Amino acid sequence: MAWVGALLVLAVQTFRVRGFWYYGTDVEATWDGARNLWQHGDPYLLLPGHSPFVYPPSAALIFSPAALADNRVFVFGGLIVTALAAVALSSALAVLVGSRWNGPVAALLLVITVLSSAGTETLGYANLTWVVAALGGWTIVAAERSRWVAVAVMVGLAVAIKPMAATLGLILLFRRQRVGLALAAAIPIVLNLATIPLLAAPADFFTRVLPRVLSGATTGVGSNPSIWAFGIRHDLSPGLVLALRLLVLLATAVVVAGAARRRSPAHLAVIGLGAAAGLMLVVQVNQPSYGLVLLPLAASLYAVGTPAQRAIVLLASASILACGTPGWLPTDVTMIGELALLGVAARVTFSAGAPPGRATARRQLPGQRGRRPASRGAG
């Protein structure tokens, strides 16, 4: 019954966002990029009144078969894919907190995420962030079970769609999975190389698109939870903003390096997504909806945290989900939430001993049977 209600909420919300002014804007840009790749050899050709395509050429190639469909069909299909990715993410989150992938906890998490401000925005835009977040969540689950081929494939696909997912590759790097790392790197490399014969200017992504994206031009300042945008909104001195960014970057590097030396499965999310949290704060391109990518990190930290740490994780997750277009809370709240997750990740990483709950408990995955542990340890 829990899933019946959750899927009903998802269906209603999916129908509701079709009336939003920004409905399908991002997936329409993907349609433009895929069509323009084949028709003009330039996926970054900007059509009047459309949003720019800002993903790598590999993403245009991945979606090019579907782009043969009519624009309205493609946009609606993108909305359905986003909704399915929301289901996949909620299932991964449930597994990461120690519940069943198809249990009532997963259904509850689905309702919370799709009704949140950030979730509604991402669903309405049919943005690929939810797809990347779902891939990230199941990457952590697969890594905890040493299913490195699955990890490599999911990381490779995520990076081919959105390079921001490259931090997940650190899991393979620090766990010395050379074959998996090579496979993860090969997927986006091969896909991008395959587009070269189709591109009029193969270097355009690096010379035209990437600099513009990294400058923050595509996300603006008002709804950007990065430290750079925070400094502009509050008229902070450039020197102070730079110092804050360097401090967070250094702290992130220390936390990730510390997690890399720990063997507990709890630290896998810190390696792959703790790095993402730090970079999202430091670089100039960020949006509240990007916080969906960090939810698997929040779930992993919640599973091993003390009561105080769990409370912080819940508040941080709420602050991430509560900001969007329009946001229930100011954008600065999302930045604080991301900083809080990074702080809890540091505390879990450098606490004495491996978190017992994650080191010994075995979670249920699709197709597995057996009884879950009766309780979770706190670390």
Provide the pLDDT confidence category of residue 203 given band limits of 50, 70 and 90. confident
Provide the pLDDT confidence category of residue 155 given band limits of 50, 70 and 90. very high
Mean pLDDT is highest, among 53-57, 72-76, 115-119, 156-160, for: 156-160
Choose the weakest-confidence range: 140-144, 199-203, 268-272, 348-352. Answer: 348-352
CA dist., res. 116 & res. 361, Å (int): 31
Listed residue (216, 193, 204, 184) closest to 290, CA to CA: 216
Angle at 124 between CA 121 and CA 128, to 5 degrees: 85
Q: Is the pLDDT of residue 106 over 60?
A: yes
Task: Kindly report the number of other CB atoms within 10 A of residue 292's CB atom.
Answer: 28
Mean pLDDT for the chain?
86
CA dist., res. 259 & res. 280, Å (int): 19
Rounded to 10°, the helix 129-144/117-125 angle is 110
Q: What is the pLDDT of residue 351?
A: 82
Q: What is the pLDDT of residue 139?
A: 96
Question: Higher pLDDT residue, 168 or 353?
Answer: 168
Q: What is the pLDDT of residue 369?
A: 43
Q: Please return the burial class of 367, using the count of CB atoms within 10 Å of its CB with bins 0-12, 13-18 and 19+.
A: exposed
Choose the weakest-confidence range: 21-25, 224-228, 283-287, 316-320. Answer: 21-25
Question: Higher pLDDT residue, 237 or 41?
Answer: 237
Q: What is the pLDDT of residue 25?
A: 82
Provide the pLDDT confidence category of residue 121 given band limits of 50, 70 and 90. confident
Q: Is the pLDDT of residue 82 over 70?
A: yes
- What's the chain's Rg over C-alpha atoms? 20
Residue 351: both structure tokens together: 């606490």
Task: Say what the pTM is.
Answer: 0.87
CA dist., res. 211 & res. 202, Å (int): 15
Q: Is the pLDDT of residue 376 over 60?
A: no
